[in-house]
Structure 1
Amino acid sequence: MTVIRQMTYQPADRRAAAVETLTFDHLRALNDGGTQRADFHVIAVVDAGPGSVTVDFLRHPLRELSAVWIPPAAVHRWDDIARVAGHVVLFVPTAPVTHATRELVASPDLAAHWNIPDADWPFVDAARNHLLLEASAPPGDLSTELPEILLSALIARLRPPHGGARSAHPVFQLFRSSVEAHFRQHHDAGYYARTLGYAARTLSRAVQQATGRTAKAYIVDRIILEAKRLLAHDRLTSAACAGTLGFPDASNFSMFFQKATGLRPGAWQATVACE
């Protein structure tokens, strides 16, 4: 069983588990107002609000009958949860047990926040409550499979929408997975076309259809997102970011970042620190 580690917020009654739960009351007690960057997924089911959470530098409202999905490595901050009621589920990427839910959690473009339709809420609520019930069982009575099975049911009932891609184009899916694996070393669309065995035009068309962006723009956006995460949460310097993200030097990285955001890395980092 994989153990969830490096939690800034975590259940007080801790035991080795791939799935753990806590209430917003518990989260409020643990939350220090700072940014988090975990190696596990965080799902919040919100019964009542209002409140807000920031995920990868975009603020989202927390309101009645809504949900939040924070994937591993995303920089996030619970901004205002004083009046939020509901539950938070923490789980490692391998916890879901069905093929469909494993594919879903592996997707890098799930929406960070969405409203749960009224018709779906009874099913979401029932799936959540069943998971909470099993998670509260005494350690000796806890089946190692039940929480993962019930987590999969909850994910299926939540039906998180995709935030970026509008298509399940197989060429785009291959491109997206390859970018996730190699964007730190390879910044040019030509590398991915050659690696995947497609003509550059075919690849570009697939990415355009799925995201509305060119393949090059998609890669740039992914690099910039990671750069922002490193600058904001890890507080890396431009030189350290350049090395981590495969740029020859700090100057080259700085020009790349400024072209994409309008600010040099240090200036952008300062604006985030002031928030």
Structure 2
Amino acid sequence: MVENGLVSVIRHMTYQPAGRRAAAVETMTFDRLRALNGGGTQRADFHVLAVVDAGQGAVTVDFLHHPLKERSGVWIPPGAVHRWDDIAGVAGHLVLFVPTAPVTQATRELVASPDLAAHWSVPDADWPFVDMARDHLLLETSAPPENAPAELSRILLSALIARLRPPHARAPSPHPVFPLFRSSVEAHFRQHHEAGYYARTLGYAPRTLSRAVQQATGRTAKAYIVDRIVLEAKRLLAHDRLTAARCAATLGFPDASNFSVFFRKATGMRPGAWQAAATVE
């Protein structure tokens, strides 16, 4: 894990495991994280999966604060802005891995989901299995590179993810349309802001799409798209320090004025004011 850019206290992290060039999975302790972490905000191009053994602390992921506690998990996906707010008394391990690292279909689909919970408690009945899966992965990643076949760490990562069973922030929809819509929005929200585009692309009537999204999220399809654009705008404003004009260009708006009206309507603040407040925090 290396820092490749620094603006104020914002760090952009690129996956590069030290001494293990071909490794898709890296592990570290919270002690090591404390030594590396300066208390600033980060945005990474890899997944961060943490297993908290003991202690209390906090992490902020995409502007939401999550208290940490013993026997819990943390999931920070690529692109999410995050800050370890209070980890002085936290014990456990972190697993850093590239999006393509999991090897089973189920864990690949889970990792690709854009709405996993950032923090959850591990049930007592599951903890011994999680602990054992984590220890096996730690042992494998500690082996000398010449004695560590690359696929073993991927297999053990998949086993740990399967045992941790990270939940979705929202209950999965029983309607087959919503997962397709969610994936399409994730791929195209920068270019397409209208629900009608997704209905046409997926081959469903707008009313069918609206019903599926409402059933899964309690929001309209349009509101879901707006929320996704706003989240990315906040990331760009707070952590890439883009101007309103550059955000507009990145997110498919015709100009800065149009983007500013959209952002203010959605958040109640102008982009510049929100950026200043986020920087102070």
TM-score by length of 1: 0.96
Alignment partners' CA distance in 1, 2:109 and 2:21: 27
Match of 2:234 in 1: 228
Match of 1:269 in 2: 275
Q: Which moved more, 1:214-223 or 1:161-170?
A: 161-170
Over the matched positions of the two proteins, sequence identity in percent amounts to 82
Report deviation, 1:166: 3.7
2:244 to 238, 243, 255: 238
Report deviation, 1:49: 1.7
Alignment partners' CA distance in 2, 1:195 and 1:234: 31
Whether the 8 Å contact between 1:185 and 1:246 is mirrored in structure 2 is yes
Whether the 8 Å contact between 2:214 and 2:221 is mirrored in structure 1 is yes
Q: Which moved more, 1:13-22 or 1:65-74?
A: 13-22
Please show how residues 76-225 of structure 1 align to structure 2 within 5 Å. 76-225=82-231
Whether the 8 Å contact between 2:58 and 2:86 is mirrored in structure 1 is yes
Alignment partners' CA distance in 2, 1:213 and 1:231: 25
Whether the 8 Å contact between 2:173 and 2:179 is mirrored in structure 1 is no
Runs of 4+ in 1 over 6 A off after TM superposition: none
Report deviation, 1:139: 1.1
Report deviation, 1:15: 3.5
Question: Which 5+ residue runs of structure 2 have no aligned equivalent?
Answer: 5-12
**Number of positions where the alignment pairs a residue of Structure 1 with one of Structure 2:** 273
Match of 2:256 in 1: 250
Report deviation, 1:39: 1.2
Which secondary structure does the structure 2 equivalent of 1:90 belong to? strand
Alignment partners' CA distance in 2, 1:10 and 1:33: 21
Q: Which moved more, 1:166-175 or 1:223-232?
A: 166-175
Whether the 8 Å contact between 2:73 and 2:119 is mirrored in structure 1 is yes
Report deviation, 1:13: 4.6
TM-score by length of 2: 0.94
Query: Which protein has the bigger strand share?
Result: 2
Alignment partners' CA distance in 1, 2:129 and 2:78: 26
Alignment partners' CA distance in 1, 2:213 and 2:3: 35
Question: Which 5+ residue runs of structure 1 have no aligned equivalent?
Answer: none
Does residue 47 of structure 1 match 2:79?
no
Residue 26 to residue 157, structure 1, CA distance change in 2 (3 Å): same
Report deviation, 1:62: 1.2
Alignment partners' CA distance in 1, 2:71 and 2:180: 34
